[in-house]
Amino acid sequence: MGPWFGHDVFKVLIFAVNTHEKPKKFLMKIREIENRLKKFRVGIAGAGGLGSNCAAALARAGVGSFVIADFDIVDDSNLSRQYYFSRQVGMLKTEALKENLIAIRPGLEVTVHNRRLDVTNIPSVFQGCDVIVEAFDSAEMKEMIIETVCRVYPETPLVVGSGLAGWGMTDLLKCRQIDRHLFICGDETSETSDEMPPLAPRVGIVANMQANTVLEILLNKPAS
């Protein structure tokens, strides 16, 4: 036999592994997870670096329904870390994010609220959400939504992002459960400033930590 024979056997083996064993197993499990996740609705409070990246990860994982609230428009400077594209500069963030989520999964249900969130409108905006993701920029707003959700929807899990400025220091990023329904992701120490701007990798890690926490909450929840 010439060397081509051995090569062919190798190709057949690769083919067998690729088409039968692992991918099929993963696919079945992924479909099962998607089927569970598509019944849930996640609220995204703020569609900046945390909110846009977190929503994209959740849409890919299979969450079926989103409520997105933000008042801002996509700016050039947002492209350094937020899940938007240069052609979307000038669009409302809610509309741009809806477009991007639906580009990932056409069947998604996305409700948008183009408004600044406050104590009075949070209850109606996020009514019916299974989990709420806090993705505001300012610490005052973070405090406001924690107080509001704990008071109005004490049974709704809230996943907060706090501390994501700068670069490196990956090992300082963590996620902890404060109580039954309150979770905090981030380093809890770094604050954005001129010297410590938010950048795509660390913002993306924290956004994905929030998304990962949401999955943990939803996949542990009994299907209704």
Partner 1 sequence: MKIILNNREEELTGERMTITRMLELKKFTFRMRIIRVNGKLIPRDEYDSTMVNNGDNIEMIYLMSGG
Q: How many CB atoms lie within 10 A of CB 58?
A: 28
Shortest distance, position 26 Cβ to partner 1, whole Å: 33
Per-residue contact track with partner 1, 88 to 127, x per CB under 8 A? ----------------------------------------
Work out whether 204 is an interface residue with partner 1 (CB under 8 A): no
Q: How far apart are CA 31 and CA 52, in angstroms?
A: 24
Return the range that interacts with partner 1 (CB under 8 A); candidates 5-13, 19-27, 41-49, 105-113: 41-49
Task: Give all strands of the β-sheet with 41-45 in edge-to-edge order.
Answer: 109-113, 65-69, 41-45, 131-134, 158-161, 182-186, 174-179
Q: How far apart are CA 183 and CA 175, in angstroms?
A: 7
Shortest distance, position 12 Cβ to partner 1, whole Å: 51
Return the range that interacts with partner 1 (CB under 8 A); candidates 5-13, 57-65, 103-111, 141-149: 141-149
Shortest distance, position 132 Cβ to partner 1, whole Å: 14
Per-residue contact track with partner 1, 162 to 181, x per CB under 8 A? xxxx------------xx--
Residue of the chain from 43, 62, 157, 198 that contacts partner 1 (CB under 8 A): 198
Length of the chain: 224
Return the range that interacts with partner 1 (CB under 8 A); candidates 91-99, 122-130, 158-166, 167-175: 158-166
The CA–CA distances, whole Å, from 174 to 45, 188, 218 equal 21, 9, 19
Residue 83 contacts residue 206 (beta carbons within 8 Å)? no
Closest to partner 1 by CB, 103 or 178: 178
Amino acid at site 221? K
The CA–CA distances, whole Å, from 137 to 1, 16, 47, 50, 84 equal 67, 49, 10, 9, 17
Residue of the chain from 40, 42, 43, 48 that contacts partner 1 (CB under 8 A): 48
Q: What is the phi/psi pair of residue 70, to 5°?
A: -165, 155
Query: Between β-strands 182-186 and 174-179, what pairing exists: parallel, antiparallel or unpaired?
Result: antiparallel
Return the range that interacts with partner 1 (CB under 8 A); candidates 15-23, 26-34, 48-56, 92-100: 48-56
Query: Residue 190: helix, strand or coil by DSSP?
Result: coil
Closest to partner 1 by CB, 101 or 144: 144
Work out whether 46 is an interface residue with partner 1 (CB under 8 A): yes
Q: List residues near partner 1 by CB under 8 A.
A: 46, 48-51, 134-140, 142-143, 146-147, 150-151, 160-165, 178-179, 182, 184, 186-192, 198, 203
